[in-house]
């Protein structure tokens, strides 16, 4: 069985996760569920990035020790992922003992091999980003990543010799076209960082102590990014007594990262792996961001929305559908109360829920709930819908494989619309009135195709919206073992009986009321 190891970034436990931060994890979970349906042996990793000055400061603000602070945050993160049905296999915390030990060993390996050397660092430091910048990297004298103030700092420090690996990295990019998705991010890395010349990276700090100490020189704390990036290895037991998971799952098939942390994953991380003589991940997928009309989500701007707020009112699947549907491959996605309510009412309620509801009630009305069998001699309308059924499977599979998640959902929804149109084309209510054999066969065929398509839709949406998929299959009376491979297996439609009365799976929202409701949430 092929394996599939997918990771999310490990999050800073510096407060409540909003829908933007939750996006990476929802996406990873969806990809994992998809691969699982395709029969892969899957492993998903997520967790928390608990060290560093920022966390130390946050703990102080709350009058807690850093460890107490991160313990509380970890519990909140785990609760949220449970609520969101995130099916991770491992939740790593960088304060975990096995991780700390492995990072210390990695540092000593780098030292012993001469990849890390001791020197002195002077530069402009951005505290929130925990990053040093050179004079030329600053934008208007501020941090180029977050735009905040920076301060001049100087310290004895260890450096990683990045320059040594620059050409090797470039060669790797050029010989591994699937390594970075999307392509334009690769070009950005080459043009903005590699071509101008890589700087050696300062990999220790002495200005604070909440971090992993260098074994051979404990007044130095290991830089959070070196500590954090290696989590993808240590979570599998790398350099521990039990490295069976590491042997089985490394290299990662996909690292998912937001665009703000691309540089760390596309430059430093592969170089660290090269220095450890380990294979590189197969693909690093860099996704865009979730924004608000007036820019980044931020509590101080009063424009934040938290996933649990949407889930509590509209359900998990509607929330996930919106998140996954709204971030296109080449642009940021936008959250607005209006678009959330519109997607809910049009896509989920009008298109999907009504299709299921109409089908279940017609089969009850015309065939006492029993799904008719199909003679196998399609007329023109059936021919067309059958072609669409075959095509959508390939389309959706290809799009997900290319990480075009919003487009994959769009393809499924076009198919839902096509199926709704099929009802209008065949007019089953007229066929049912006409008492002749020909029309009766057409009516049977129509009901059969509707159930076939709904079953297919339920499987296609399953990685994205598992609860809805279950509800649909339940209403259709389907209780097979669901897999992507059985999408084409129409023998599984024999002898089905739909439930006597299907409740709508999504109910229309009163748009104005709900838009106001969400606007109020954003101000809280």
Nearer to ligand MSP, 55 or 487 (CB): 55
Interaction between residue 66 and ligand MSP (CB under 6 A): no
Interaction between residue 10 and ligand MSP (CB under 6 A): yes
Interaction between residue 258 and ligand MSP (CB under 6 A): yes
Nearer to ligand MSP, 64 or 261 (CB): 261
Q: Residue 334, SS3? A: strand
Query: Distance between CA atoms of 419 and 423, rounded to whole angstroms?
Result: 7
In contact, 328 and 479? CB cutoff 8 Å: no
- Tell how strand 333-335 and strand 290-292 pair up: parallel
Interaction between residue 181 and ligand MSP (CB under 6 A): no
Nearer to ligand MSP, 227 or 456 (CB): 227
Which of the ranges 9-17, 212-220, 415-423, 429-437 carries the binding residues for ligand MSP, by CB under 6 A? 9-17
Interaction between residue 305 and ligand MSP (CB under 6 A): no
Q: Residue 321, SS3? A: helix
Interaction between residue 20 and ligand MSP (CB under 6 A): yes
Which of the ranges 20-28, 54-62, 106-114, 383-391 carries the binding residues for ligand MSP, by CB under 6 A? 20-28
Residue 127 has what DSSP assignment? T
Give the contacts of 122 (CB within 8 A, at least 6 positions apart): 152, 153, 154
Interaction between residue 189 and ligand MSP (CB under 6 A): no
Least CB distance from residue 237 to ligand MSP, whole Å? 18
In contact, 246 and 279? CB cutoff 8 Å: no
Query: Distance between CA atoms of 20 and 310, rounded to whole angstroms?
Result: 13
Q: What is the chain's length?
A: 524
Q: DSSP letter string over 465-504?
A: -HHHHHHHHHHHT--S---GGGGG-GGGGTT-B--SSPPP
Query: Distance between CA atoms of 428 and 446, rounded to whole angstroms?
Result: 7
Least CB distance from residue 480 to ligand MSP, whole Å? 36
**Subset of 32-51 contacting ligand MSP (CB under 6 A):** 49
Calculate the dihedral angle through the C-alpha atoms of 499, 87, 289, 70, rounding to the nearest 10 degrees: 140
Least CB distance from residue 373 to ligand MSP, whole Å? 48
Q: Write the interaction track for ligand MSP spanning residues 224-253; mark x where CB under 6 A is met and - where it is not.
A: ----xx-x----------------------
Nearer to ligand MSP, 84 or 356 (CB): 84
Q: Residue 21, SS3? A: helix
Task: Give the containing element (helix H, strand E) for 76.
Answer: helix 66-83
Residue of 72, 166, 190, 261 that binds ligand MSP (CB under 6 A)? 261
Which residue ranges make up the site for ligand MSP (CB under 6 A)?
9-12, 20-21, 23-24, 49, 228-229, 231, 257-258, 260-261, 289-290, 297
């Amino acid at each position: 069985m092929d394996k599939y190891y997918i990771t999310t970034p490990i999050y800073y436990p510096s407060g409540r996760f909003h829908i933007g931060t939750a996006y990476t994890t929802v996406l990873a979970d969806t990809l994992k569920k998809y691969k699982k349906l395709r029969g892969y042996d899957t492993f998903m990793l997520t967790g928390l990035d608990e060290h560093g000055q920022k966390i130390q400061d946050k703990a102080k603000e709350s009058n807690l020790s850093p460890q107490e602070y991160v313990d509380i945050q970890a519990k909140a993160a785990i609760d949220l992922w449970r609520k969101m049905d995130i099916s991770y296999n491992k939740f790593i915390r960088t304060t975990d003992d096995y991780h700390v030990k492995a990072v210390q060993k990695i540092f000593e390996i780098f030292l012993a091999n001469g990849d890390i050397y001791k020197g002195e660092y002077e530069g402009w430091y951005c505290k929130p980003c925990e990053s040093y910048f050179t004079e030329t990297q600053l934008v208007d004298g501020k941090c180029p990543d977050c735009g905040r103030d920076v301060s001049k700092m100087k310290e004895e420090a260890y450096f990683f010799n990045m320059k040594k690996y620059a050409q090797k990295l470039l060669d790797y990019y050029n010989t591994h076209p699937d390594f970075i998705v999307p392509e334009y991010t690769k070009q950005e890395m080459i043009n903005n960082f590699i071509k101008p010349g890589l700087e050696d990276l300062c990999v220790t700090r002495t200005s604070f102590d909440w971090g992993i100490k260098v074994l051979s020189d404990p007044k130095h704390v290991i830089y959070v990014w070196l500590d954090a990036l290696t989590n993808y290895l240590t979570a599998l037991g790398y350099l521990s007594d039990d490295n069976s998971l590491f042997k089985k799952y490394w290299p990662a098939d996909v690292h998912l990262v937001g665009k703000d942390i691309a540089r760390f994953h596309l430059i430093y991380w592969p170089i660290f792996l090269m220095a450890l003589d380990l294979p590189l991940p197969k693909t690093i997928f860099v996704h865009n961001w979730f924004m608000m009309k007036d820019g980044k989500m931020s509590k101080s701007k009063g424009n934040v929305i938290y996933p649990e707020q949407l889930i509590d009112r509209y359900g998990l699947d509607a929330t996930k559908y919106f998140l996954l549907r709204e971030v296109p491959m080449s642009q940021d996605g936008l959250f607005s109360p209006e678009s959330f309510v519109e997607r809910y009412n049009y896509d989920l309620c009008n298109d999907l829920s009504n299709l299921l509801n109409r089908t279940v009630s017609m089969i009850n009305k015309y065939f006492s709930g029993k799904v008719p069998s199909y003679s196998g001699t399609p007329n023109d309308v059936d021919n067309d819908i059958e072609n669409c059924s075959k095509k959508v499977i390939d389309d959706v599979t290809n799009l997900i494989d290319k990480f075009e998640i919003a487009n994959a959902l769009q393809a499924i929804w076009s198919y839902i619309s096509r199926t709704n149109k099929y009802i209008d084309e065949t007019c089953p209510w007229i066929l049912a009135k006409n008492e002749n054999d020909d029309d009766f066969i057409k009516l049977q065929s129509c009901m059969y195709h509707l159930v076939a398509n709904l079953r297919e839709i339920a499987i296609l949406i399953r990685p994205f919206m598992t609860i809805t998929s279950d509800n649909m299959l339940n209403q259709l009376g389907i209780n097979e073992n669901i897999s992507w491979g059985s999408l084409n297996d129409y023998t599984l439609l024999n002898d089905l009986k739909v439930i006597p009365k299907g409740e709508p799976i999504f109910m229309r929202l009163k748009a104005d009321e709900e838009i106001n409701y969400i606007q109020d949430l954003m101000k809280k």
